[in-house]
């Protein structure tokens, strides 16, 4: 029971004031940090893209325009809240929260720092109590992340559907297809990580990545990381996979009919998701708060946070960079990439890693295992490409039924 519910070492034992306060403090801090980080992310994206496009970007509100998002938010609050005549009123109002709340909840399971050196497993001591620098550490941590990101799909899907308008409908149809199909690739690439980590808990996954060669990006052989990065971009609806919003095609996509703070919530959720997804990538593949070397002077507990922030920033920049440079995929190309490349590839890689793992446990010859599995994978890849060719030929014979 304790194993199942004791989410935090601080909560084990009798219920005392200090642990309770620490938990409450953490809840408030995570919420505040979440909002602040989102604000910063919007500013960072606008500023970075402006730099790439020979523009200045926001520079009026606050120093270097840092408060621009706040100003935008206030403006959105005071805008008229429009509810289209043909909208499904309840669902239309519900949808923004369905997108927004999961984005926040994911924060609670990401290890934001902590001392992972010398087998301390990220436990730090605050006010004489042992705790983790994360709100909750459920044993099903990473499953929770997947579950929440699935719920976020409903937000977008229902928003488009309930608007009672054609462009949002197209957007929501795209959203459901895109996010459902990329979740498969996302899950399969996570499976490879879980295979190595042997645990679903996020702090356990981080603890497993002790030292650079144990970082999962290295120990799983890069491929799952790349698949995860692509699938995560699609899951986030960020360019080049932002078909759901696709301004040039669908005007605003699923949020065309939204205005005022309801739109603001979608907007916030999208940027929040970007930050959390970067956090998840760092947690899963880049060692989370684990550093490459000891930063002098700074104590271990804070050092982890510094490493974490640095790594997340890197991925945030990558997302901004994608947005500034890449053209958008077309719907069918996106589906092709997801189903014909990413899913088979992640599945194949998962099996390869599983075979290697089994071979090591059973003391088989590693080289033979690797060669045999690689051969099997190549045969599978050949079969799949043949199947694709046949089906394409069939389709062509039937003729485009448009």
DSSP-derived secondary structure letter, 293: S
- Indicate the residue among 132 and 174 with the shorter CB distance to other proteins: 174
- Indicate the residue among 247 and 294 with the shorter CB distance to other proteins: 247
- Indicate the residue among 36 and 326 with the shorter CB distance to other proteins: 326
- The tokens of 383 are what? 């079969």
CB of 255 vs other proteins, minimal distance in Å: 14
Distances in Å between the alpha carbon of 392 and those of 379, 384, 388? 20, 12, 6
CB of 167 vs other proteins, minimal distance in Å: 8
CB of 52 vs other proteins, minimal distance in Å: 6
CB of 86 vs other proteins, minimal distance in Å: 14
CB of 165 vs other proteins, minimal distance in Å: 10
Distances in Å between the alpha carbon of 201 and those of 32, 207, 221, 330, 366? 24, 10, 22, 36, 29
Binding interface with other proteins (CB under 8 A): 49, 52-55, 166-167, 170, 173-174, 239-240, 242-243, 246-251, 323-333, 399-402
- The tokens of 103 are what? 């984005």
C-beta separation of 1 from 7 below 8 A: no
Report how far residue 9's alpha carbon sits from residue 20's, in angstroms, rounded to the nearest whole number: 12
Place of tokens 């739109």: 263
- Indicate the residue among 188 and 337 with the shorter CB distance to other proteins: 337
- Angle at Cα 234 formed by Cα 350 and Cα 241, nearest 5°? 135
- Indicate the residue among 116 and 167 with the shorter CB distance to other proteins: 167
- Indicate the residue among 296 and 327 with the shorter CB distance to other proteins: 327
H or E segment and range at residue 327: none
CB of 166 vs other proteins, minimal distance in Å: 5
- Indicate the residue among 177 and 261 with the shorter CB distance to other proteins: 177
- Indicate the residue among 111 and 253 with the shorter CB distance to other proteins: 253
CB of 402 vs other proteins, minimal distance in Å: 5
First to last CA, the chain: 58
H or E segment and range at residue 200: none
Can you count the helices (H) and strands (E) in the chain?
A: 15, 2
- Indicate the residue among 129 and 249 with the shorter CB distance to other proteins: 249
CB of 368 vs other proteins, minimal distance in Å: 37
Phi, psi of 400 (to 5 degrees): -65, 120
- The tokens of 232 are what? 């995560």
Report how far residue 113's alpha carbon sits from residue 305's, in angstroms, rounded to the nearest whole number: 4
Q: What is the largest CA-CA distance in the chain?
A: 74
Report how far residue 400's alpha carbon sits from residue 298's, in angstroms, rounded to the nearest whole number: 65
CB of 378 vs other proteins, minimal distance in Å: 24
Phi, psi of 334 (to 5 degrees): -65, -45
């Amino acid at each position: 029971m304790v194993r199942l519910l004791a989410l935090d070492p601080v909560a084990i034992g009798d219920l005392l004031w200090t642990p309770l306060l620490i938990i409450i403090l953490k809840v408030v801090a995570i919420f505040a940090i979440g909002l602040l980080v989102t604000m910063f992310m919007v500013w960072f994206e606008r500023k970075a893209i402006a730099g790439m496009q020979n523009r200045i970007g926001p520079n009026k509100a606050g120093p270097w325009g840092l408060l621009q998002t706040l100003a935008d938010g206030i403006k959105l609050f005071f805008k008229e809240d429009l509810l289209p005549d043909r909208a499904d009123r309840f669902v239309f109002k519900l949808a923004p929260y369905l997108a927004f709340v999961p984005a926040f909840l994911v924060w609670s399971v990401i290890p934001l720092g902590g001392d992972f050196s010398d087998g301390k497993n990220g436990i730090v001591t605050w006010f004489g109590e042992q705790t983790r620098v994360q709100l909750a550490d459920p044993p099903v941590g990473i499953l929770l992340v997947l579950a929440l990101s699935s719920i976020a799909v409903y937000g977008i899907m229902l928003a488009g559907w309930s608007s009672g308008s054609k462009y949002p409908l197209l957007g929501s149809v795209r959203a459901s297809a895109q996010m459902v199909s990329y979740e498969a690739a996302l899950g399969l690439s996570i499976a490879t990580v879980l295979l190595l980590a042997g645990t679903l808990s996020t702090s356990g996954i981080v603890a497993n990545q002790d030292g650079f060669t144990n970082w999962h990006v290295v120990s799983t052989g890069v491929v799952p990381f790349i698949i995860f990065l692509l699938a995560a971009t699609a899951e986030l609806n960020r360019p080049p996979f932002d078909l759901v919003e696709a301004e040039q095609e669908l005007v605003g996509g699923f949020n065309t009919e939204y205005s005022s703070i309801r739109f603001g919530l979608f907007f916030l959720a999208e940027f929040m998701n970007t930050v959390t997804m970067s956090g998840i990538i760092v947690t899963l593949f880049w060692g989370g708060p684990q550093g490459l070397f000891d930063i002098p002077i700074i104590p271990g507990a804070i050092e982890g946070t510094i490493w974490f922030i640095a790594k997340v920033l890197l991925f945030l920049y990558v997302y901004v960079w994608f947005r500034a440079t890449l053209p958008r995929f077309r719907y069918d190309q996106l589906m092709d990439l997801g189903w014909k490349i990413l899913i088979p590839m992640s599945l194949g890689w998962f099996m390869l890693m599983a075979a290697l793992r089994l071979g090591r446990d059973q003391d088989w010859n590693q080289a033979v295992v690797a060669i045999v599995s690689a051969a099997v994978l190549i045969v599978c890849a050949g079969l799949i490409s043949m199947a694709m060719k046949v089906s394409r030929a069939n389709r062509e014979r039937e003729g485009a039924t448009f």
